[in-house]
Structure 1
């Protein structure tokens, strides 16, 4: 069974992993495990309370197929958790590692975006992250970017974020392409 570890922090952005978690469980039958810093209950930006399954700092790549770091309000503050050892463990084991919105700051701080194509909310959003030297590889666009087993996305791209995670795990195809078209249709310009 495919296992996803989804890291949620205080003030996490509900919409950024909602499609992923729901479709992974109900459509694909994945085991979706939530984790938070210290294993504490967290509240989303929308006010949803989540009691995580485990402690984020204790996640190990040998137990999961992917690590997903959700964005939220904490990542731009001094309270942002340091997940560098978890992130580098997943990457060292060849596991898919994904981050959206503020969660991309965790990957940037871990130094994993310095030499690969990636994206975030904006070039200046990620530029000041300690340890980040990947400006030359930044891709400024509205969709998620996958480089091998690393997926990054702006907070406005939860659908392509979900799709690139599935593609990185080997679950791509016509059905997934249709899913992206349907759920992304509202973002297409209207025909004149």
Structure 2
């Protein structure tokens, strides 16, 4: 089974991955589990999220198995410029070169900017000036003023783009049918019960 590695770090914005985590639970309804989520950090020491949740990482960065990697998730935090995050940013660069999905949201995009990764991908963030604070950022011509952007195997989003960010991840991993993902996105973006019905019915379609 492929792994979705989610990097966790102190001050992580724990609300930004909520829609994606919900979307991953639909694997049970689809009758197949293609991906397993694992939390990863610099050590197995517990981290404290911005919302006050304590998370004990499943594995360390050194335990990541690239042969089983389906995606690497980088969640926003106030600590992305800390030296301790260099290993995961280097791994992000390696994953992209190997055509493995990397998805970064909010403050994590600044980490990618610091590594020069955004200089060759269409991308977004909280704001252009946010990224221009990085001395290694030269990707202004690729910046898009929208909440989420998917370019090849890199997905980026602003702090307001967690739902579309999650949709792009589900689409990139081809977890469900187009009908399922469309109904899922429409339901969570509108709250209309008709879309919930479409979502439930979509599991009778060919996945």
Matched, 1:106 2:111: yes
| Deviation by residue 1:39-90 (Cα, 9 ceiling, x = unmatched) | 3211111111000111135535323110010111212x54561133211221
Alpha-carbon separation, structure 1, partners of 2:109 and 2:66: 18
Provide closer, same or farther for how the CA distance between residues 88 and 78 of structure 1 changes in structure 2, counting only shifts above 3 A: closer
The 8 Å contact of residues 69 and 99 in structure 1, kept in 2 or not, is answered as yes
Alpha-carbon separation, structure 2, partners of 1:118 and 1:168: 16
What CA RMSD, in Å, does the superposition of the two structures yield over aligned residues? 1.8
Question: Which among 30, 37, 41 is matched to residue 32 of structure 1?
Answer: 37
Which 4+ residue blocks in structure 1 deviate beyond 2 angstroms?
37-40, 56-63, 77-80
Question: Which among 137, 145, 157 is matched to residue 140 of structure 1?
Answer: 145
Alpha-carbon separation, structure 2, partners of 1:116 and 1:22: 28
Query: What is the 5 A alignment of 1:105-124?
Result: 105-124=110-129
| Deviation by residue 1:152-188 (Cα, 9 ceiling, x = unmatched) | 00011111111101111123512111211221227xx
- Hey, what does 1:154 align to over in structure 2? 158
Segments of 5+ residues of structure 1 without an aligned counterpart are 187-192
The 8 Å contact of residues 2 and 68 in structure 2, kept in 1 or not, is answered as no
Matched, 1:62 2:67: yes
- Hey, what does 2:16 align to over in structure 1? 16
Secondary structure at 1:68 match in 2:
strand
Could you tell me the TM-score, scaled by structure 2's length?
0.81
The 8 Å contact of residues 57 and 86 in structure 1, kept in 2 or not, is answered as no
| Deviation by residue 1:101-140 (Cα, 9 ceiling, x = unmatched) | 0011122122221022100111011112242210111001
Q: How many residue pairs get matched?
A: 183
Could you tell me the TM-score, scaled by structure 1's length?
0.87
The 8 Å contact of residues 113 and 131 in structure 2, kept in 1 or not, is answered as yes
Displacement, 1:19?
Answer: 2.1
Question: Which among 153, 163, 166 is matched to residue 167 of structure 2?
Answer: 163
Secondary structure at 2:145 match in 1:
coil
